[in-house]
A and B are shown apart, each in its own frame.
Chain A
Amino acid sequence: MEARSLPSRTAPSVGRTALLKIRTVAGRWGLVALLLAFPIYFLVHDLTTGYPGYAHGHATRVHDLTYLGTNIVQGISNGAIWALIAIGYTLVYGIIELINFAHGDVFMIGSMTGVSVWSGIGLGLATSTLGLVVGLPLALLVCMIVCGVLNVLIERVGYRPLRGAPRLAPLITAVGFSFILQNVGLLWRGGSTVGVSDLVRENKTVVQISGVVIHRADVLSVAVTIPLVILLGWFVGRTRQGRAMRATAQDPEAARLMGINVDWTISLTFLIGGALAGAAGLVYAMYETTIWYLQGFEAGLIAFTAAVMGGIGNIKGAVIGGLIIGCIQQTIDARVGPQWTPFFVFGLLIIILVLRPQGLLGEETREAG
């Protein structure tokens, strides 16, 4: 029966598949073209009109690519943080098809925990390099554990009881948890931005390549992100638990029939997502040297945009999306003004969702097939 009905399902009319293929290709390259429009515009602008700067000791207009290079370097380092958060969104969406709205606020709790831990173990401006080398990984570990466990608890209390309910139900509890965590942050650190001690002297120059300065903060965020992403890739792609995660994402019922403990696997996914958010939180606190209770809301939306841009459910996509959105955000921050950044980021999110909801690399969810 199945076999006989197969041909009619897999072979629609030729013209239709060709059209679909063209649309897929046009959609992807259209999005790439849209994303490239930003740097190309600023590249042409910098080379022709120039930007205000200093040369030979007096103010003048400079015509080179240093400014754009700086934007991109800062964008990649900031985007590395967004990538870590975006992975959490994408993992959770891949496995239970839920936008974990509270994820951004878990990241915020990560920042606050990080600051508390490092001041708790006595790290400060006077700490030697050796102290930092020992202390910061410890703080990172604590942050990852706290946020991972927090995320697992949220899943256990808020999402698991609603697994069979209409799709909007867990989304609404996610919004509820987001607000609870924001309130925790508000009571913990007050309602305004709090400056934290600049442990690594984030503005110190590490290396300068033809005018583009790479600061310590840039090195730090990339140095934390790359090993974590590689570790995650190994875990998901090579280990038994990773295979269980992929199987659950593909078809939870079949996975359960194959003897996979689906509940445990989902908890593990939340643990990993939360841990990455915790790491991002600590790095963010050192990178920005300020924290506040609403940082998670905006970071969450930016990271979600990154995850959708790369293709939700797709880990590689989340990383690439994070880096791209970081570059866009830093460029807009520097050239148009940070108050307009949400406009560009959310506008981009809407454009992507409308024109190419599957993102750059294609989504990996059950609905996408």
Chain B
Amino acid sequence: MNELRAQLHEWRVAIERTLPPWWPRALAVLLIAFGLLLPQIFSTTSNFVNTEILALTYVMFALGLNVVVGFAGLLDLGYVAFFALGSYAFGWLGSGWFFKAHVHVLVHGPTGTLPGIHLNFVLILICAGIFTAFAGAIIGVPTLRLRGDYIAIVTLAFGEIIRVFALQGPSLKIFGMPVTGGELGISGTDPPYLPGVGQFSQLDIRPWYYTIFVLVLITLFVTIRVRDSRLGRAWIALREDEVAAVSMGIPLVRTKLLAYALGAAFGGIAGAFLGAYTTLIDAGEFQFGFSIFVLAMVILGGLGSVWGVVVGALLLSNINYYLIPDVLNPIPGDLGLNFNLTDLQVSIFGFLLVLVMVLRPQGLIPERRRKLELTRGIGETELDEPAASWVSVEPGEVVQ
């Protein structure tokens, strides 16, 4: 096994040596070109493009969560809260939900005369980002001084509280209007309108694809630039050793809050986009399972590794939205077994989490720094050492 691994490593080094030094950039350009051309191959309402739109949205979610979990090392089990808040931001600002208000900003066509708050799509995305960034900072405040696993529980609790509010929204009123649609949801959202593209519709889903594609590119750019900045290094320093980082002068409160805020902003924008795309914002979607789904993407790809997370998110969302329901689902039936594969979705992801953590904790494409950590075993305790190391000591033998 080890020989095989060494052989593979040798080949990889050899291949990397033959490639020109600019190959990562060339690959990135190629991938972007491929991404741009992809929807042109398929029809305007193709199921595959629809899956890819969802997959790209999840890439954005996963990149946002990666800032919090991967860079700053704060395990967030309540990421669904930002998806919910972003979606509701879209529902509130881009539909007739608040029917008593008459606000129209830069909207086009008949939407301009409808009751409710109607903002331009781009404005809504920006508002959703700012709104969720604030929410992220608010969630960040109480978790700052807690230890790692307590952070996980507090964020989870926040996620559940947001879900309770989403479900009970119809009974909460602002100026006599219900806050959320509960399980029935907020429907009748405005179709986005962009100059030069026109009104988005469900009959031609290519504009949606290009919108989320551009959003993902922006997210990637911001994530990579921030990672390599002073702030990104501060996050990684805090993740590695909080006491040492703080004694080096890193402001704990501000650094952690910024991680939460940035991660939340990406989640909120992606959530607003998803709300616009599905045209229905219902509280039933904001389940704990969503947080785990996105976390599984980050962990599968490699905590902290930007490209790993992209690959992880694309893989898992394609498995979840295409492979399991459309391709693999009839297999148990063909084998004469009486269940749907979609029923197993939850445990497939659970199983994946366990498998990745036990067998390959660094993920598919590990972050360079974390790879070093895991192979050198920083943070190991004595407990980890096999008992044999001291059991095998002979009587009278000198122990170092």
B368-394 CB contact bits vs A (8 Å, 1 = yes)?
000000000101111111010000000
B292-321 CB mask vs A (1 if < 8 Å, else 0) is 100100010000000000000000000000
In the bound complex, what is the Cα–Cα distance between A130 and B385 (angstroms)?
Answer: 53
Task: For the complex, give the distance between the alpha carbons of A15 and B73 in Å.
Answer: 36
Per the bound structure, the CA–CA distance linking A367 and B156 in Å amounts to 23
> Is A258 part of the contact surface with B, judged by Cβ < 8 Å?
no
Q: What 1/0 mask marks residues of chain A from 157 to 168 whose CB sits below 8 Å from any chain B CB?
A: 110011111111
Chain A contacts for B289, CB-based, 8 A: 179
CA of A236 to CA of B353 in the docked complex: distance in angstroms? 33
Question: From residue B145, how far is it (CB to closest CB) to chain A in Å?
Answer: 8
Contact B384 A163 (CB under 8 A): yes
A81 at the interface (CB under 8 A from B): no
User: Is B17 part of the contact surface with A, judged by Cβ < 8 Å?
Assistant: no
Q: Which residues of A contact B146 (CB under 8 A)?
A: 353-354, 357
Neighbouring B residues of A353 by C-beta, 8 Å = 142, 146, 150, 153-154
Q: Which of B148, B160, B346, B384 contacts A183 (CB 8 A)?
A: B346
Instruction: Say which one of B94-102, B161-169, B245-253 lies at the interface with A.
Output: B161-169
Q: Is B157 an interface residue (CB 8 A)?
A: yes
The answer, yes or no, to whether B323 is at the interface (CB within 8 Å) is no
A98 touches B343 (CB 8 A): no
B154 touches A349 (CB 8 A): yes
Residues of A within 8 A of B384 (CB): 163-164
Q: Are the C-beta atoms of A98 and B149 separated by less than 8 Å?
A: yes
How many A residues face the partner with a CB closer than 8 A? 50
**In the assembled complex, which residues on chain A have CB atoms less than 8 Å from the CB atom of B349?**
176, 179
B158 at the interface (CB under 8 A from A): yes
Given contacts A183-B346, A349-B154, contact A176 B288 (CB under 8 A): no
Residue B220 interfacial (CB < 8 Å) = no
User: Does B344 make an interface contact (CB < 8 A)?
Assistant: yes
Among B110-169, those with CB < 8 Å from A are 142, 146-150, 152-154, 156-158, 160-161, 163-165, 167-168
Is B11 an interface residue, CB under 8 A from the partner? no
Is B75 at the interface (CB under 8 A from chain A)? Answer: yes
A177–B350 contact, CB under 8 A? yes
B358 CB within 8 Å of chain A: yes
Asked if B42 is at the interface (CB within 8 A of a chain A CB), the reply is: no
Residues of chain B with a CB closer than 8 A to A170's CB? 357
B157 contacts A349, CB within 8 Å? yes
The answer to whether A346 touches B157 (Cβ under 8 A) is yes
Contact of B350 among A157, A178, A253, A347 (CB under 8 A): A178
Taken together as a complex, chains A and B put the C-alpha atoms of A162 and B167 apart, in Å, by: 38
Q: Does A158 contact B350, Cβ atoms closer than 8 Å? A: no
Beta-carbon contacts under 8 Å, A69-113 to B: 97-99
Check A280 for interface membership: any CB of B closer than 8 A: no
Given contacts A157-B354, A172-B357, contact A367 B147 (CB under 8 A): yes
Min CB distance, B17 to chain A, in Å?
32
B181 to chain A, nearest CB (A): 15
A353-B151 Cα distance, complex, nearest whole Å? 9
Closest to B293 in A: A179
Closest B residue by C-beta to A176: B353
B154–A182 touching, CB < 8 Å: no
Quick one: which of A321-361 are within 8 Å of B by CB?
339-340, 342-343, 346-347, 349-350, 353-354, 357
Instruction: Tell whether A169 pairs with B164 under 8 Å between CB atoms, given A175-B350, A252-B383, A349-B153.
Output: no
B347 touches A183 (CB 8 A): yes
Query: CB-defined interface of A281-302 with B at 8 Å, one 1/0 digit per residue?
Result: 0000000000000000100010
Count, chain B residues at interface, CB 8 A: 50
Contact assessment for B383 and A253 in the assembled complex, using a CB-CB cutoff below 8 Å: yes
Establish whether residues B346 and A158, one from each chain, have CB atoms under 8 Å apart when the complex forms: no
A252 vs chain B, min Cβ distance (A): 5
Query: Known contacts A346-B160, A353-B154; is A180 also within 8 Å of B361 by CB?
Result: no
User: Does the CB pair B354–A183 fall under 8 Å?
Assistant: no
Q: Does A270 contact B (CB under 8 A)?
A: no
Given B150, B156, B165, B352, which contacts A176 in the complex, CB threshold below 8 Å? B352
B148 CB contacts on chain A under 8 angstroms: 167-168, 171
Q: Whose C-beta in chain A lies nearest to the C-beta of B380?
A: A164
- Is there an interface contact between A350 and B154, defined as CB atoms closer than 8 Å? yes
Chain B residue with Cβ nearest A343:
B164
Which residues in B have their C-beta under 8 angstroms from that of A354? Answer: 142, 146, 154
- Bound CA–CA A263/B339 (angstroms): 39
Q: Is B77 positioned at the interface, with any CB of A under 8 Å from its CB?
A: yes
Is A145 at the interface (CB under 8 A from chain B)? Answer: no
* Smallest beta-carbon distance A318→chain B, Å: 15
Q: How far is the CB of B395 from chain A (nearest CB, A)?
A: 15
Rounded to whole angstroms, the CA-CA distance of A162 and B142 in the bound complex is: 29
Measured CA separation A301–B350 after assembly (Å):
18
B210 partner residues in chain A, CB cutoff 8 A = none
Contact B358 A162 (CB under 8 A): yes
B383 engages A163 (CB within 8 Å): yes
Contacting residue for B142 out of A308, A350, A367, CB 8 A:
A350
Contacts of B382 in A (CB 8 A): 252-253, 256
Contacting residues, chain A, for B352 (C-beta < 8 A): 176
Least Cβ–Cβ distance between B158 and chain A, in angstroms: 7
User: Complex: how many Å from CA A262 to CA B391?
Assistant: 13
With a cutoff of 8 Å between Cβ atoms, the chain A residues found around residue B157 in the complex are 301, 346-347, 349-350
Q: Chain B nearest CB: distance from A284 CB in Å?
A: 20
CA A187 to CA B389, docked complex, whole Å: 44
Which residue of A99, A179, A350 is within 8 Å of B292 (Cβ)? A179
What would be 12 A-B contacts, judged by CB atoms less than 8 Å apart?
A: A164-B385, A169-B357, A171-B75, A172-B299, A172-B353, A173-B358, A175-B292, A176-B354, A263-B387, A342-B160, A342-B163, A350-B142
Q: Beyond the given A164-B380, A168-B148, could you list 12 further A-B residue pairs with CB under 8 A, ordered by the A residue number?
A: A157-B354, A163-B383, A170-B357, A173-B354, A176-B350, A179-B353, A186-B346, A253-B382, A301-B156, A301-B157, A304-B153, A343-B161
